[in-house]
Structure 1
């Protein structure tokens, strides 16, 4: 009996190791693939561009990036009839957009080519743990297994303790790299739409008033350095941080989810949010509006 148990245990260990190895191999293989397609429009950025948690994985995209057919770049490209190379990847930092290193991938900006006419960039939130801290605090508040997971995450820091200067420099660097590769391209930087209301809190957030007060300056400072980097880099801004006011997770028509959404990822854009963003970016580019 003991021998049988040992054999079963060994078999399970072998299966787990083989599964992990296969997963790492898949991530590595997908990460090392060169982007394909006609790069008339190149989308760069993090999960707020990738459409994390929304319906339909973009065909051929790396599994690790969680790139959706309903992220704003995909919706914009379909509506305007633009050939798209979508490099957005959930979890990406602004530094990785410029330098690579995420999931074995090269720089996202390497997809920009002389033929590129439109570039969008949404990044910076992961650099300062903006969304990660919101999720961690909401999980802690819920208790149970999710609460335990939340407690394993680092305690959130005040806005003054986060390296916003580096974020601004990295966004500016990504813009410069795109400009260098495609001098004729129009570059639009899209700020993060607000998850938090201007005052107070609500049940959808799963956060206390003190927690929201701690994180609100993080969102505001991130939006500010994003604007500054775009301005200094000569890019246009679609300022969803301002335009999206009144569409936070506590509103009647949220463009960003709360802590426990029925669709999409916590504290990430809703379908209405990506639709609105796509429409506004199309307008900034002078393209046909997104219906």
Structure 2
């Protein structure tokens, strides 16, 4: 996390508790709009019957909410929001619901109250979308805090060449007897808790649903062509992945609901025969590297609707 982003996150904590990097996608991907008519409900996603109960739905979050390159993707502002991400699918299953999707690839906790830059474009604070008329809020955030995801899929991958059969990433981040990434997970828990408080302050009548992160790493084994970590770092990266899901869940304690996606995604990690998460090669017709496929977004939509 940069000094600027760290300051924004600190400001978020102070504001909320006191009150109670993404590149452009491939050319040719059709542009959409943030506020739009919801798509036709997918056959795999149940349709809710409480039409009109959630008249205004605001979706907050990072790229695991925006779902970059899950067809089709809005490339107009750098946030890379899919028109078939889980917020769009949830809204489609709730007749009479207007979706305001401000999720943005690269967002971290500081992006809730601070300006996020996508390339040369400034994105307003996501909390700006919240009003007293908001009836439903979903938020999925935390994975980009302290550059956590970038460390797992960037730094750890680069370190593989130094000790392919060992655990060079774990060795680097646990040197001195303290696990740096585990320490940051504890702080992410606090960020999520502050975000829930901030949402309630700005949208006091809304139902607040926190959405967790899926399982990215396999329980056992490896798939170096898709996720090129050192052999011993798979277990470490999975612990951090699981720890992130747990941190978000604990931070969501005062939300109306927490949607666990880690458990339901078991067996659908990057290395699985039926993966919900893409590997290291971006597929411009399916998903950005290391990001959700459409199947994962449909599954999350079902889980959110179940929570409602």
Per the normalisation by structure 2, the TM-score is 0.69
Q: Is this contact kept in 1: 2:35–2:101, CA < 8 A? A: no
Match for residue 256 of structure 2? Answer: 235
- Cα deviation for residue 49 of structure 1 reads 0.2
- Cα deviation for residue 189 of structure 1 reads 0.7
- Cα deviation for residue 41 of structure 1 reads 0.5
Return the alpha-carbon distance in structure 1 between the equivalents of residues 35 and 93 of structure 2: 21
Q: What do the CA deviations read for 1:52-89 (whole angstroms, capped 9, x no partner)?
A: 2222224xx75221111122112221232321000100
Question: In structure 2, which of residues 91, 96, 100 is the aligned counterpart of residue 85 of structure 1?
Answer: 100
Match for residue 107 of structure 1? Answer: 125
Q: Is this contact kept in 2: 1:201–1:208, CA < 8 A? A: no
Q: 1:74 to 1:275 in 2, by over 3 A?
A: same
- The SS at the match of 1:85 is strand
- Cα deviation for residue 36 of structure 1 reads 6.6
Match for residue 71 of structure 1? Answer: 85
Return the alpha-carbon distance in structure 1 between the equivalents of residues 88 and 157 of structure 2: 30
Q: What do the CA deviations read for 1:111-145 (whole angstroms, capped 9, x no partner)?
A: 111111111111111114333234325864899xx
Q: 1:138 to 1:167 in 2, by over 3 A?
A: closer
Question: In structure 2, which of residues 135, 140, 150 is the aligned counterpart of residue 132 of structure 1?
Answer: 150
Return the alpha-carbon distance in structure 1 between the equivalents of residues 232 and 256 of structure 2: 35
- Does 2:222 match 1:201? yes
Match for residue 57 of structure 2? Answer: 41
Return the alpha-carbon distance in structure 2 between the equivalents of residues 267 and 156 of structure 1: 22
Q: What do the CA deviations read for 1:215-256 (whole angstroms, capped 9, x no partner)?
A: 11211211111111101x233111101221111111222111
- Cα deviation for residue 261 of structure 1 reads 4.8
Q: 1:194 to 1:177 in 2, by over 3 A?
A: same
Q: Is this contact kept in 1: 2:157–2:230, CA < 8 A? A: no
Return the alpha-carbon distance in structure 1 between the equivalents of residues 277 and 156 of structure 2: 15
Match for residue 55 of structure 1? Answer: 71
Q: Unaligned stretches of 5+ in structure 1? A: 1-22, 24-34, 144-154, 286-291
Per the normalisation by structure 1, the TM-score is 0.73
| Number of residue pairs matched by the alignment | 237
Return the alpha-carbon distance in structure 1 between the equivalents of residues 173 and 69 of structure 2: 26
Match for residue 268 of structure 2? Answer: 247
- The SS at the match of 1:41 is strand
Match for residue 288 of structure 1? Answer: none
Q: Is this contact kept in 2: 1:257–1:270, CA < 8 A? A: yes
Q: Unaligned stretches of 5+ in structure 2? A: 1-23, 25-33, 37-53, 162-170
Return the alpha-carbon distance in structure 1 between the equivalents of residues 55 and 230 of structure 2: 44
Match for residue 48 of structure 2? Answer: none
Q: Is this contact kept in 1: 2:108–2:142, CA < 8 A? A: yes
Question: In structure 2, which of residues 137, 143, 166 is the aligned counterpart of residue 119 of structure 1?
Answer: 137
